[in-house]
Amino acid sequence: MENIIGLYGGTFDPPHLAHLGVARAFLKSFPNSRLVVMPCLIPPHKTRSTGGADEKSRLDMARLCFGSLPRTTVSDYELKREGVSYTYLTVRHLLEENQGARICLVMGQDNLEIMEKWKEYRYLLDNCVLAVAVRGDEALSPIMDRLRHEYGADIRLLHTEKSPLSSTDIRRLAGLGLSYGDAVTREVADYMASNCLYSGVAENISMQDIYGFIRCLSPKRLSHTYGVEKAAMMLANNHYPSLDKRLVCAAALLHDCTKEKDGAGQAALAEKYGVVFDSATAATVKIQHAVTGAAVARKEFGLNEVADAILTHTTAAADMTPLQKIIYMADFIEENRKDELCLGVKRYYFECLKENKEAALDKTLLYAVEEGIKVLEKECKTVHPHTLEARKFLKECLADEDDNRGSKQ
């Protein structure tokens, strides 16, 4: 008897009755199979700029939605794995854990139509069955026959009911305080209400577009960029676990996206995006990429929070947001940095982390700012006013925290 494991991945933000219907259709069509529902961390093709549920909430809702189905488990494997949730990595993991099994990818026709854009799609077509949900009277995609003919793809159909509302619709209605009817199970609806999910939802953007945008960077710059992404994820997990990791990923990937432009290139970008350098930035070409990179994030991708983080990643600023702190710090401590300033900041951070996790990030931020100022002053270079403001603000905040701790003792 063939050992089939269905893999049903997605953001499930939130999981709704159409998702549940697809899962039921799979279990009916493959009566001897098991189904693994896999909420992803960072989807390769789409992410919301803000307003979505965090990883824990999406996992909780998936368990509430699918938990009563037979032969079904909800896995947190992709949520625990850092970086973009590429399906081929999950398939390899499942095959290693289940020798002799056949993986069946459960998906809608919308995903099938972009199958050739998936990373390692040939590996997936060679090693997986594709169970494609056809909703209601939806016409069959012509790409099915082409994938079967060109790649020998094994495609099976799952006939399901069509849902009038998507996850995006439900988020928007919930954010506006409007009814989304019975589009989700009662358990998921209660969870959404009790946790006040989806207030202020923004539009979707494509992570694939971000990767495409930075692909022109040099190998050395890309290596640094991916190092910042890894460090930023680590910092977010250590200090702000509820922060949307998709924003962290986007900010890290775009932080140096215009770094390799010279002075003329920076000026051209500033004109293109309608931004103006302040006097200190205009005098220092080396930091102008923070302004133009922020403009790219804001204008090309609609990512305002990400833009704010990119804007301050070279100079810091007073009263930085969690995302701003993470990107500023990750730029210092990423694994490819070998200069003494960055190595010193990295050592200081991990020492602080052992002593007091709660204060480690702010203490290291102040240390990095102060050490950076020393280097600039030694080289007789101008210190940006925002950097001086950051030092003053951090000193005052840390002093207040010390006073508060002292008064409680």
Whether 199 is covered by a domain: the verdict is no
Q: What is the CATH number of the domain that holds 32?
A: 3.40.50.620
- This prediction has a pTM of 0.56
Cis-peptide, bond into residue 43, ω within 30° of zero? no
What's the confidence (pLDDT) of residue 257?
Answer: 96
Hey, what are 84's tokens? Answer: 């973009």
* One domain, residues 276 and 163: no
CA-CA distance, 306 to 298, in Å (whole number)? 8
Hey, what are 173's tokens? Answer: 């209605």
- Residue 104's DSSP bridge partners are 6, 129
**For 340-388, how does the pLDDT look when each residue is reduced to its tens digit (9 = 90+)?**
999 999 999 999 999 999 899 999 999 999 999 999 999 989 899 999 9
Whether 200 is covered by a domain: the verdict is no
Hey, what are 286's tokens? Answer: 């080396």
What is the torsional sign of CA 229, 233, 238, 239? positive
* Residue 324 near residue 312 (C-beta atoms within 8 A): yes
- How many domains does the structure of the chain reveal? 2
Hey, what are 11's tokens? Answer: 């953001």
Q: In 3D, which of 9, 137, 192 has the Cα closest to residue 84?
A: 9
The DSSP result for 221-260, as a single string, is HHHHHHHHHHHHHHHHHHH-TTS-HHHHHHHHHHTTTTTT
Q: In 3D, which of 301, 306, 314 has the Cα closest to residue 273?
A: 301
* One domain, residues 189 and 326: no
Domain that includes residue 68, residue range: 4-194
Which residues of the chain fall short of a pLDDT of 50? 48-49, 200-204, 408
**For 89-139, how does the pLDDT look when each residue is reduced to its tens digit (9 = 90+)?**
999 999 999 988 999 999 998 889 889 989 899 999 999 999 999 987 778
